[in-house]
Amino acid sequence: MALDIDQLRADTPGCDHVLHFNSAGAGLMPIPVLDAMQGHLVRESLIGGYEAHHAADDDYRDTYAAIAELLGAKPTEIALMENATRAWDQVFYGMSFNPGDRVITAHASYASNYLAMLQQQKRHGIEIDVIGNDESGQVDTEALEAAITELTRLICLTHIPTNGGLINPAAEVGRIARKHNVPYLLDACQSAGQTDINVERIGCDFLSSTGRKYLRGPRGTGFLYVRTESLDLIEPPFLDLHAADWIGRNDYKLADGAARFENWEGFVAGKIALGAAVRYLLELGPESVYEQIARVATLLRTRLSEIPGVTVHDLGREKGGIVTFSHVSTDATRIKHELDRRGINTNLAVPKWARLDAEDRGLPTMIRSSVHAYNTEGEVDRFVTAVREITDR
């Protein structure tokens, strides 16, 4: 089903104000998402926070159902979180590690995830097995399988890294994890909303993501998927009266399903708006959105590569909507500043955000331009013209 780009842009007020190539940071919210969030905040102001939550319970519960539909999961396997990092941490810090246990990860690991691994290495003496890339730049699945031993306790994969367009072969990693019965945690922070994250096809036990990026939900929202059969593999790192029931003076019972990883207080308006964002994507047709993102990103890579002195750094057999580049003589910080002045939103890809990959490839600080389905060929033309002007000085 072809997307109606004009309608998509009409639904997105930000398109009238900026050229937004920063969806990997935070996508532009569509009107239904904004309405859902503002509507609930108004309700809170009129009748009170608890009362507003009770009145909007159907909308709140539908967020679980919408995310489950997007993932091919069950609503009871979804926990609503403050952000993707907190969701990822709930799994990683919920694992019971012993000295010598091994965790497998890839060069494209995100900084926050790898910092957690380093902390657990210091605390518990775990070993971190970093798997290299194959000739295309994606994680080498043969090397990953060969690295699995009887001490391997977890596979952690970043589906789409923060610093490039690479889409790692998540489903192939899932096949290997299932074959060897190793729990598998997928960081889908950048992939939710721009590529397939069906958990049955991927085969992951756990999946973490944010609401603010390609899903186009509000900041301060995220979610965690925990496969029902994998619930008992992890212990919630902390509990409150929502995550567990205090059933006796010295006893408690964990909440059923993924709810045990949530806590009581949260951004109710944001969680309702996250559900609206996922419903908006489902109504558009996720596959059509993914195809449009890939189409615009491919055009952008091609056009940028034609600029003298520009190097596009994206790897992988399959690429998504993140396009990273640098210029031989013009600093990325200056390029971003000049783009900002022209009303063009991008971000920097700083080496320390993905240090393993950046150091292995000798990457500089890059411009991270990340497109969405609401972006157009005309915007690509405008962007490339601006980069030419800035780097030609």
What structural domains does the chain harbor? 5-29+285-391 (3.90.1150.10), 32-283 (3.40.640.10)
User: Which amino acid does the sequence have at 117?
Assistant: M
User: Which amino acid does the sequence have at 89?
Assistant: D
Where helices occur in the chain by DSSP H, the ranges are 5-10, 31-47, 49-55, 57-71, 84-92, 111-124, 141-147, 170-180, 199-202, 268-284, 286-305, 332-341, 355-361, 377-391
Q: Which two tokens stand for residue 344?
A: 């063009």
pLDDT number for residue 316:
94
Question: What is the distance between the alpha carbons of residues 366 and 324, in angstroms, rounded to a whole number?
Answer: 6
pTM value is 0.97
What are the phi and psi torsion angles at 74 (to 5°)?
A: -105, 145
**Own/partner long-range contacts of 147-150 (Cβ < 8 Å, ≥24 apart):** 147/104, 148/104, 148/176, 148/180, 148/182, 149/102
pLDDT number for residue 2:
84
pLDDT number for residue 27:
98
- Cβ proximity of 238 and 99 under 8 Å: no
Question: What is the distance between the alpha carbons of residues 165 and 292, in angstroms, rounded to a whole number?
Answer: 15
List per-residue pLDDT tens for the chain, 393 residues long: 689 999 999 999 999 999 999 999 999 999 999 999 999 999 999 999 999 999 999 999 999 999 999 999 999 999 999 999 999 999 999 999 999 999 999 999 999 999 999 999 999 999 999 999 999 999 999 999 999 999 999 999 999 999 999 999 999 999 999 999 999 999 999 999 999 999 999 999 999 999 999 999 999 999 999 999 999 999 999 999 999 999 999 999 999 999 999 999 999 999 999 999 999 999 999 999 999 999 999 999 999 999 999 999 999 999 999 999 999 999 999 999 999 999 999 999 999 999 999 999 999 999 999 999 999 999 999 999 999 999 997
Supply the DSSP symbol for 76.
G
Q: Number of C-alpha atoms within 13 angstroms, CB side, residue 13? A: 6
- Cβ proximity of 386 and 338 under 8 Å: yes
Q: Which two tokens stand for residue 376?
A: 């157009």
